Structures are given as structure tokens and as C-alpha cells.
Amino acid sequence: MSSLVLISDTHAPARGGAHPGGLPEPVWDAVDAADVVVHAGDWCTVDLLDRLASRASRLLACWGNNDGDDLRARLPETARDEIGGVRIAVTHETGAKQGRERRAADAFGDTDLLVFGHSHIPWDSAAVRADGGTLRLLNPGSPTDRRRRPTHTWMTLSLAGGRIGDVVLHHLEGAGPAPDGDR
């Protein structure tokens, strides 16, 4: 079984700069405990990429629309891997929420789990691929830039035997859970 931490839209140092090392301490604790860290883009600085890569046991990551040439030279637009028998794709943007599942199932028909970012709004849904299989779509929100959300968020989950385990949306301590209205 592999444990994963999902983060996105860290926007360091402008937004993440308020936290030591660019991320809140609970996120660094999760990074240290995970087998794989997944970052779905909008790093904004190579420094955070270097720090995360040095602390993560394994890193699967892509660049986002706010990432410059230095990050794009080191990261793909879409990262892919198979972990625990689950085929994963990580990309930053998936377009508008309306029709997202169908577009993702068409574009990622060979994928079991799609991790994305951009909106800073947590998302958890599923789509049926053309082959009849299921594509799970996850956006962990942002641990540093909550935008319209009441809390900063990230996700954890496990993968084993080709299955996606329970997905947990984490909120920074002291803040209530986010409403479901922005889905």
C-alpha cells in the first residue's frame, strides 16, 4: 500500500511565504509521512520544488499556468505514473466545472486517477471512461491560498491493488470545514 499527499496551488513565496519553508507545518508533516507527494502545479518558485523534492520520498508533479520557464524546464505539463496498480495523471487545468468529468474521461481514458488544481477549490468526483472503467477526479484545493474557501486544504489517500482508498480532505486546524456550494 502506498500513502499519498495531494497538494496544489502553493503560489510560493507570495502566498506560501507566510509559512516556514513555504508550506504550513501540518502539510510538511504529511509530506514527511507519505510514500508519494503529488503537486498539481502553480508552484511559482523553483525553491519550493527543490525543498519538496528533498523531503518527499517520491514526488509526482506538473507545472501550472503561473509557473515560469524555470519550472516548466523541470516539470511536465502532465505527469503520469502507476502507483499501487493505479494509473495516475497530474495536470493543472481541466477547464470549467461544467462538463469536467466528460472532458477528463475523454482526455485521460487510460487513467484511473486524475489529480488537478487551478481553482483552489477541493473537488472529488468520478467519470465513466469509454472502456467502462472509472476515472476518479481529485483537486486538493490549496494549503496556502484559500481564495473563496474558508480553509486551506490538502488531501491524503492510499493506493493498493489497483484500488483508490479513502480520500481525506484536510483543513488547517482551527478552521471549520468548507461548504459544498462551490463544487
Query: Of all residues in the chain, what percent carry a pLDDT higher than 90?
Result: 80
* Residue 177 in domain: no
Per the structure, how many domains does the chain have? 1
Does 7 fall in a domain? yes
Among 1, 27, 29, 23, residue whose Cα is nearest residue 11: 23
Distance set, CA 23 to CA 28, 91, 128 (Å):
7, 20, 35
In a domain, 61, yes or no: yes
State which residues form the domain around 56: 2-171
- Tell me the C-alpha to C-alpha distance, in Å, between residue 138 and each of 12, 22, 25, 168: 22, 23, 22, 11
- 45: its cell numbers: 518558485
In CATH, what number is assigned to the domain containing residue 111?
A: 3.60.21.10
pLDDT in tens, 57-93: 999 999 999 999 999 999 999 999 999 999 999 999 9
Q: Is residue 179 part of a domain?
A: no
Domain assignment present for 176: no
Residue 125: all three cell numbers together:
468526483
pLDDT at residue 170 greater than cutoff 60: yes
Residue holding cell 488547517?
172
In a domain, residue 93? The reply is yes
| Average per-residue pLDDT for the chain | 90
Position 150 scores a pLDDT of 86
- Is 58 domain-assigned? yes
pLDDT beyond 90 at 155: yes
Task: Give residue-wise pLDDT tens across range 124-151.
Answer: 999 999 999 999 999 999 999 888 788 9
